[in-house]
Homo-oligomer: A and B are copies of this chain.
Amino acid sequence: MTNRQIVITSLPEGALTPDHYELRETEMPVPADGEALLRVILMSIDAANRAWLQGATYRAAVKAGDAMPTYAICEVVSSNSPRLAPGDIVAAEATWSDYITAAAHKVQKLPHVSPLSNLLSVYGIAGKTAFHGLIGVGNAMAGETVLVSAAAGSVGGYVGQIAKALGCRVVGIAGGPEKCKWVVDELGFDACVDYRAPSLFKQLRAACPDGVDVYFDNVGGTVLETALATMNERGRIVCCGAISQYDTSAPTGPRNLPGLVVTKRLRMEGFIVMDFAHNDAKATRALQQWVASGQIKVFEDVVDGLENAPAALIGLLAGDNKGKRMVRVSPDPVRN
């Protein structure tokens, strides 16, 4: 029995391309003592994957020759640890592979939700990142205006829907008229402006007549620079990601910073979803309530096949996904 694995053969200098990856057949991994053999079911495809290739972040840098790392939902095939039994569903720091081994104490057991994809979208990284960022970092309150970039993306869509459920006015930023329409019609945002169209600042001023109290930034760069100019005094900028800055070797910075941070008394704060793990149960309970009430709709963007993972990531960086993108490597297990 063989395994398949996708390796990053060289690190990108400029834009990431399929040539940076290679699919290799490898031997089936054998779990050591305390480890389990895991079948990869779904792999999370995130803009942060690209940032990992730029150097050390909140995790060690990825090196040429490494199997591409990913966060994945897996099923336990066999286990050399009393912590895990065959059939258990776990979240693991995995690689782009059919099978991996992992130390049992480093994986997280998950409930048998159906479909499992919800554990990567609304009840997974995407939904929790949106919840913790908007509430724990941004302190969004009813009556305030919340602006969200990458509004059609995995996190942005939940940020806006949660903000609506809280009673905020919600304005999105997305690329192209079709996506903007989808954000308003399907996700229920009050407005969505197209950052590819002219005069982003004028569009934002029109869409946010009372200014912006919370800006949830997934993109950085010139969109952040423009959003800064729309902030109200004592506004909060939730720094979640900077997708505009990952796929390049020439990053740009907001030229009006820190000037506006001082004069408007803004707070910019970065976070990682794991920082708020102590509040995950609270987030899950709230998200379940909003899904049950219909205030949150779940949109998933599932790409089939391990071999399509590089294209799925490259496409995400170009903004071609709507909702949480993931790659299905193998089917959900059938439950009785």
Chain A contact residues, CB within 8 Å of chain B: 51, 57-58, 217, 220, 224-225, 237, 239-242, 245, 251-272, 275
- Tell me the number of copies of this protein: 2
Q: Quick check: A242 and B259 within 8 Å, CB to CB?
A: yes
Bound complex: CA A151 to CA B239 (Å): 29
Once the chains bind, are B252 and A253 in contact (CB under 8 Å)? yes
- Using A269-B261, A271-B265, A272-B262 as known contacts, say yes or no to A253 and B251 having CB atoms under 8 A apart: no
The chain B residue with its CB closest to the CB of A267 is B269
Contact A268 B275 (CB under 8 A): no
Report Cα–Cα, A270/B253, bound state, in Å. Answer: 18
Taking CB atoms, residues of chain B closer than 8 Å to A272 are 262-263, 265
Q: How far is the CA of A253 from the CA of B226 in the complex (A)?
A: 13
Cα–Cα, bound, A240→B264 (Å): 11
Return the 3 tightest CB-CB contacts between A and B, nearest first.
A253-B253, A261-B270, A262-B270
- A255 and B253 in contact, given A264-B270, A265-B270, A271-B265 (Cβ under 8 angstroms): yes
**Contacting pair B262 A251 (CB below 8 A):** no
Q: Which residues of B contact A225 (CB under 8 A)?
A: 253
**Contact A262/B275 with A254-B257, A267-B267 known, Cβ cut-off 8 Å:** no
User: Cβ of B262 and Cβ of A253 under 8 Å apart?
Assistant: no
Cross-interface CB contact of A256 among B253, B259, B260, cutoff 8 Å: B253
Q: Which residue of B lies closest to A245 (CB)?
A: B259
- The answer to whether A239 and B258 have CB atoms under 8 Å apart is yes
When the two chains form their complex, are residues A275 and B270 in contact, meaning their CB atoms are under 8 A apart? no
A269 CA / B270 CA spacing, docked (Å): 12
* Contact B261–A268 (Cβ < 8 Å): yes
Picked from B57, B58, B217, B263, the residue with its CB within 8 Å of the CB of A258 is B217
CA distance A241 to B257 in the complex (A): 10
Q: Which of A58, A241, A257, A269 has the most CB of B within 10 A?
A: A257
Q: Which residues of B contact A253 (CB under 8 A)?
A: 225, 252-257
Are B252 and A255 in touch, CB under 8 angstroms? yes
In the assembled complex, the Cα of A264 lies from the Cα of B59 at a distance in Å of: 11
What is the CA–CA distance of A253 and B265 in the complex, to the nearest angstrom?
Answer: 18
In the complex, what's the smallest C-beta–C-beta distance from A268 to chain B, in angstroms? 4
Per the bound structure, the CA–CA distance linking A245 and B259 in Å amounts to 8
Contact of A251 with B258 in the complex, beta carbons under 8 Å: no
Distance between A81 CB and nearest chain B CB, rounded to angstroms = 31
A236 closest partner in B (C-beta): B269
Q: How far is B265's CA from A164's CA once the two chains are assembled, in angstroms?
A: 26
Q: In whole angstroms, what is the CA distance A238 to B271 when docked?
A: 18
Please tell me if the beta carbons of B267 and A57 are within 8 angstroms of each other in the complex: no
A-B contact pairs, 9 of them (CB 8 A): A217-B258, A239-B261, A251-B259, A253-B257, A258-B268, A262-B272, A265-B270, A265-B272, A268-B268
A217 to B217 Cα, complex, angstroms? 23
Is there contact, CB below 8 Å, between A242 and B270? no
CB distance from A206 to the nearest CB of B (A): 20
CA A58 – CA B254 in complex, angstroms?
Answer: 20
A275 contacts across to B, CB distance below 8 A: 265
Contact B258 A242 (CB under 8 A): yes
CA distance A254 to B257 in the complex (A): 8
Report chain B residues within 8 Å CB of A262. 239-242, 270-272
Chain B residues with Cβ below 8 Å from A269 are 261, 265-268
